[in-house]
Amino acid sequence: MHQHDEMMTLFIQKAESVSAVVRRVSSADAVLDYVVDLCEGKEACQLLMAGCETSLSPPAETLCETKQTKVIAAPGLPREEVGLLSERCAASGIRVTTEGLRAHLAGIDIGLTYADFGLADTGTLVIDSRNEDIRLATMISEIHVAVLPRSCLWASAYDVEADLTRRMQEAPDYTAFITGASRTADIERVLALGVHGPLELHILIREDA
């Protein structure tokens, strides 16, 4: 087996062992189709407020209505891909946003980002998160979908040490290492997913153009 194929197999194995969903896709179009299908198949992410079962004031009713709309946050996505994603989402009533994610802290269904590196030995994604909207997309969405170009897959962090060192010298720096979906076992040692971040992590390994 070719060395890169071995890295791919190991990465998928390690990522899936920590509850990530890994798929191999052939193109940017396949990425967008996957994300839209995933969003269409889930319940809208809503802010559940106490008292919603009773009659609400007009402003509160308006707020609740805004939470019925599914939202895909795609900060950092190339402009042409944002346009194609918006076209796909329009027919399904899905809203696409690329900035100002602070205004959607209670209702992001899917955060779509690109990973800078994938580390095969731990199934880890490395994402340059200096942009606040990218940080929020990876942290507060119900489902995080990360696109990993096949050529950005490496055996371990040692292989990208020089690049990471250079980046971290450019202040301010915020480099995220993401391994699997958010999880904790702080309460009675019972594993719970999604407590500190997304409920699901989907990794799309995209073939290079």
Q: pLDDT digits over 139-188, tens only?
A: 989 999 999 999 999 999 999 999 999 988 887 889 999 998 766 656 66
Question: Whose CA is closest to 140, among 124, 152, 129?
Answer: 129
pLDDT of residue 105: 75
pLDDT of residue 55: 67
SS3 184: strand
pTM, to two decimals: 0.85
pLDDT of residue 48: 47
Question: What angle do the packed helices 28-40 and 79-90 form, to 10 degrees?
Answer: 40
* Number of folded domains that form the chain: 1
> Which residues of the chain, if any, have pLDDT below 70?
1-2, 45-56, 60-68, 106, 182-197, 209
Domain limits at 7? 3-47+56-206
CATH number of the domain bearing residue 22 = 3.40.50.10420
Dmax over CA atoms of the chain, in Å, equals 64
> Please, are residues 3 and 113 in contact by the beta-carbon 8 Å criterion?
no
Total Cβ atoms within 10 A of residue 197: 19
| Radius of gyration of the CA atoms of the chain, in A | 18
> Please, are residues 203 and 179 in contact by the beta-carbon 8 Å criterion?
no
